[in-house]
A and B are shown apart, each in its own frame.
Chain A
Amino acid sequence: MKVTMRVNGQTREADIEPRWLLVHVLREKMGLTGTNVGCDTSQCGACTVLMDGMAVKSCNVLAVQADGADITTIEGLKTDGAYHPVQQAFWDNHGLQCGFCTPGMIMTSIDLLREHDNPSDDTIRRGLEGNLCRCTGYENIVRSVRDAADKM
């Protein structure tokens, strides 16, 4: 069956089986491999994208549920060649090491900062509880989100 969605500002179509997950359509049908898959039980959050402005785990959304939706992936964050403030903050604050969880962390952080423009460290830590990182111990991720909040 056909699904149509707006992905990073462009209208994209894919011909898929109904059981296909959004993340697989993004990665394998649309070539947007920046969104990573880190688990099979929706714990890790590496696959987080924005769907109509809200963070969703794209391994937990059937592509048919995203039919007609507006999707933003990590590839769609730069504007006019400039990094999104959250991307910039992760770079500036060493908020990533291996970088595998990073796209999902950044997308969740953007959603978190949409809801809280001046979050406390505790709010940040609770807001990121759906995203796992095994490298940073979260210290510099929290700093990155804090820094992005200060600059946005």
Chain B
Amino acid sequence: MAKTGKAALFFILTVFLFSVISPVIQHADPYGIDMNSIKQPPSTSHPFGTDTKGRDIFWRVTAGGRLSIGIALTAAFISAAVGFAFGITAGYFGGKVDAALMAFVDFILSFPSLLLAIAISVVMPPGIYNVMIALAAVGWASFARLIRGHVLSVKTMPYIDAAKALGCGNLRILLLHIAPLCIPLSLVMMGIKLGGFILAEATLSFLGLGAQPPTPTWGSMISAHRGYVLTAPWMVLFPGMAITFTAFCFNLAGEALREKFELKDSRL
């Protein structure tokens, strides 16, 4: 899987870099409405065709990629950071702190994830930050679990006893002696989870809870043109392929990571 993982990573980077630099190189404005060229099938001037307002779908997909991948990355990062803080605190202090924090984690995990994300998104005015917060609010719990488990094994190591004997305070041990050993694990976990974040972001924006028109995200492009699928399937086909391809690459890379670090539990 290692080779496939590397190839997948390469594809993701290419796609993401391309979408990041696309504002400089694009020759059609993803927001530019052109009523003379609506609903055109894919051609050389519009490789993915145009939508109902004559906007070029190729450049909308790239612009959407910037947002969709960016949102998923940010949400995964916030989840990892929050889960990290919860996990090391619970794992290190143990006892009642651990019981209380893990009860909260279990509580979050006991919700069907999408329903919870929907409930949170409904609260806030729709937009990209809303999606990030909703995804992170649901996603951090599994990070917290994993990190806590890791801390439990780290804190029995002799060098922690040595640090205690030297008179290090809890905070010092936690931040300087335990946290650094948990960072790689949470990065690996982030890599494994990114594919899921891409899909969840797409679902929320498909449901209209994410970025609002005319801002393109892959999910919202599909929901906006769902009705034209019979007459102009390319409007729905290409954004969907973009989601599938990106999520697939992230999942392949995640799978390679999982194998390398021997995280067997496929529920992680």
Are chains A and B native binding partners rather than an unrelated pairing? Answer: no
